[in-house]
Amino acid sequence: LPRASRTLKGNKRRAVFDRLIVPKNGYHLPDPIRVLEPDLPTQPVGKRVWITTVILYEISISYEGKPQKNVYRIPFSDIVGDPVSEEKLNTGYEFTTVQGETLLVKWYAANQREDQGLIVHNKSATGSSWYEPNWGQIYGVGLEWIACDGTDQGTIWANRHIGHTNTVTNGSISESIYNKTAPPDHSLVAVRPGLMLGNPEPYRTLWLMGQELPMRVYPAIGPIGKGCIFGFNENVMKFLTVKPPVPPVLAFLGAGTARSDAVNVKWNKDELHEGYTRIGMQVLSGANLITRTNPSYPTDGSLALISNPTTLNHGGANLSSIYFADGTGEVRIRLLLLECDASGNPQYVLNCTETVWHWAAGSNTCPISQESCSGQLPYPVKVESACGGGGSPIQTPTDPTPPSQTSGYAYYCDGSVDPSSIDTSYWVGDRKLPPAAADYIQQQYGVTIDERFWEGRNGWLNLFNKLDMGTTYTRSVITPTDFHKFLFKTLKDLETGSGEMIDAPDWQSFKVWCERSGLSCLTDLQKASLFCSYRLGVPVNFFSSAANYLEGNVLDVLTDALVLLPRGIYDWIDFNDVVSDTGGAVTGAFASDIPVPDFKAFRSFVNFEPQALNFNIGAAKAHRPVDYVKLPGTQWGAVTNVNYSQYYLPNMTDANYKPYVAAEVGIHEIGHAVSYFGLDFYGQILHEMPEWLSISGWSPDAPSKSPSDVSAHLVKTRSASETGGMPKTDANKEAPVTDYGCFHPAEDFAEAYRMYILNPVFLEQKFPKKYAFMLDKVEPMFG
């Protein structure tokens, strides 16, 4: 896929530079990976339903362009009350998304059940831009429903826009329904592009929606500053009521007042009953006390149908009059609410009551009693399970663990992909050594670079071991296993757009995701490899010596920092104890490259040592920049009293700094690799360029000096407050960003690069020439 444009404004935190799957606007969008499901169900469910859960899909795009999905599952009773209450229906339910937006979710209780809907209103949204989020980063709204009799259930997704909300006052939303008959998928106002990092990218968002949402793609719509009211599939909605059910009524009116009673029937059926009804009457006993009826109905116990078929859910039947004889005893008359077909033939009994007149001698009025029906009924009873809104009578978990499912990554464990069928070719094409260089390392060192990734990687490690005796690179040589082949397949799939998104925002939830996605055969080290490889887009390998990286949120912090780096700087990352730390020097990380043009096929590799998590917070120079003085003839400098706290990065605290420090060390080292990459790109190592050397006033031969040669160090004896707020060397040049940067032009560059990646605002404001160098020279190398 083509790369998305990167902004050259320099602030990488805001730059959207796609790595894997994001097409540029105008690029023909590939078909979604996922087969879109129809909006279920396709037929009326025909029975009462409960809504048990409201599902909200939040999708955002991380800084490096990866989609991130959060699924909120809210018990429906939290939104409408349990039992349903007016107050809850009015005020709804509020929560904060991971994006930090406060969303108000509320049920829109329309008069027609089909027009009910769900309101999502972003209380945090302000502003007037079309691209301001007006109801959060919510791209999918769904309802889980279950039939009251438990025989049917499913999920329906919002498929139309039936209105919007205006304001929230005193917790109550004002609603505006401007098109409650909007057809499914109808976009009334605008497709909301989402993603506020950099340019709005509607194509990307829509494409991601198709990839990630298990539903019909429904573009979000709605004017700015207004919430959205979503409508759902009427095949479910017409059987749903969130109001308490209207109690069924079946009774005589006016009975028991005289020997000649004028009586009528009042009835009210279950409001969700579909179909025709009519009223039936039977005189069960006491017929000898009935002299006649008007109109004339049988008094022999047979069924009289006393109303016409109707689809209304309430009504009356005019029995008119019953004339009682002047005697003593009981008269029992049964009333039946009957379901019938369209031509009036009864099928079922929906409701049944028996009314008893208790006549006493000489009395012209009598008490009556209502009793339930007993004995043989003329038609079978059809039971309507009573369920209205609010909590379900069926115990459904409020947040059920998603069912175990085989993800698109199950091949790691289930044997569905033959590892020998995976093509791991990597050191080919422009990553293949020129024949002369390949011959040279073969003859000189006995090393061959295999075309396959892992075998070739071993070759490079063997070569480094020969070139640099001080480091035991061969500790990272591995015997490629099936896991390594699968890891390569994963990265290849992601690169070509056929990879599946992993629904886990961080390392801890990733481990849970593995368990329910068919990846429980992996060790934690392998899971960490997959997690980091997925996030960074290159193979990452964890060795047991570096297991301390798997604790807490270390991997989250580290990968969050490393993804700020552009792609293409390094070929892989290892986490392993490779360097033997002796003489008090501790190596936290290193990046290895071979700065010879013939070897440009190899970019670099990065190794994180377990010791990187042992440094103290003072090593976090990008997160908490300091001003310094560096006196002549000394090694390390000293911190001045200039206060740079306004430039501190807030995520890092005194308590959680360790992974941040490791990330800083790693990015410093990668900065060296970037500098050497200049040789491949410009034919000149970046820190040896005259443009770089002149910024801080390095002498032309400074790159050839040893960093331990104190006489070649730059000198800065004044604090920034003594030089107009801008850090200056004693030669009035822009100073290196740290005292360590004064040791050597290469360290100067690596320190500045780390600042550029992690704290570009500080670099831009205090070291504008170094910042400009990053924009002018470094950015084009990866653009």
CA pseudo-torsion sign 203, 207, 208, 209 = positive
| Nearer Cβ to Zn ion (39/748) | 748
Residue type, 462: N
Q: In this structure, what are the phi and psi dihedrals at residue 55, rounded to the nearest 5 degrees?
A: -110, 130
Span interacting with Zn ion, options 23-31, 315-323, 582-590, 744-752, rule CB under 5 A? 744-752
Report how far apart, in Å, the C-alpha atoms of 319 and of each of 76, 279, 306 are: 44, 10, 7
Span interacting with Zn ion, options 414-422, 635-643, 681-689, 741-749, rule CB under 5 A? 741-749
Residue 533: which residues within 8 A CB-CB, separation 6 or more? 487, 490, 491, 539, 540
| Nearer Cβ to Zn ion (223/595) | 595
Tokens linked to 584: 């008090």
What is the Cβ-side half-sphere exposure of residue 403, based on CA atoms within 13 angstroms? Answer: 2
# chain residues binding Zn ion, by CB under 5 A: 2
At closest approach, how far in Å is the CB of 592 from Zn ion? Answer: 13
Interaction between residue 750 and Zn ion (CB under 5 A): yes
What is the Cβ-side half-sphere exposure of residue 620, based on CA atoms within 13 angstroms? Answer: 26
Looking up tokens 């920049």, which residue turns up? 625
Q: How far apart are CA 137 and CA 390, in angstroms?
A: 27
Span interacting with Zn ion, options 467-475, 487-495, 562-570, 746-754, rule CB under 5 A? 746-754
At closest approach, how far in Å is the CB of 664 from Zn ion? Answer: 11
What residues between 505 and 544 interact with Zn ion by CB under 5 A? Answer: none
| Nearer Cβ to Zn ion (359/773) | 773
At closest approach, how far in Å is the CB of 697 from Zn ion? Answer: 20
- Report whether 495 contacts 26 (CB < 8 A): no
Residue type, 664: E
Residue type, 530: L
| Nearer Cβ to Zn ion (114/747) | 747
| Nearer Cβ to Zn ion (452/623) | 623
Collapsing DSSP to helix, strand or coil, 11 comes out as coil
At closest approach, how far in Å is the CB of 672 from Zn ion? Answer: 6
Compute CA 471 distance to the chain's CA centroid, rounded to the nearest angstrom: 42
| Nearer Cβ to Zn ion (293/759) | 759
| Nearer Cβ to Zn ion (747/779) | 747
At closest approach, how far in Å is the CB of 459 from Zn ion? Answer: 26
At closest approach, how far in Å is the CB of 744 from Zn ion? Answer: 8
Tokens linked to 466: 């020969």
At closest approach, how far in Å is the CB of 446 from Zn ion? Answer: 31
Span interacting with Zn ion, options 102-110, 622-630, 634-642, 743-751, rule CB under 5 A? 743-751
Span interacting with Zn ion, options 313-321, 538-546, 575-583, 742-750, rule CB under 5 A? 742-750
Span interacting with Zn ion, options 391-399, 559-567, 637-645, 747-755, rule CB under 5 A? 747-755
| Nearer Cβ to Zn ion (555/750) | 750
How many other C-beta atoms are found inside a 10 Å radius of the C-beta of residue 621?
Answer: 23
At closest approach, how far in Å is the CB of 465 from Zn ion? Answer: 21
Rounded to 10 deg, the angle between the 745-758 and 657-682 helix axes is: 120
Span interacting with Zn ion, options 124-132, 407-415, 566-574, 749-757, rule CB under 5 A? 749-757
Nearest-CB residue for Zn ion: 750
Residue type, 263: V
- Report whether 409 contacts 500 (CB < 8 A): yes
Q: How far apart are CA 368 and CA 266, in angstroms?
A: 16
| Nearer Cβ to Zn ion (491/752) | 752
At closest approach, how far in Å is the CB of 596 from Zn ion? Answer: 20
Q: What are the DSSP E strand ranges found in 189-244?
A: 227-231
Interaction between residue 601 and Zn ion (CB under 5 A): no
In the complex, which residues of this chain contact Zn ion (CB under 5 A)? 747, 750
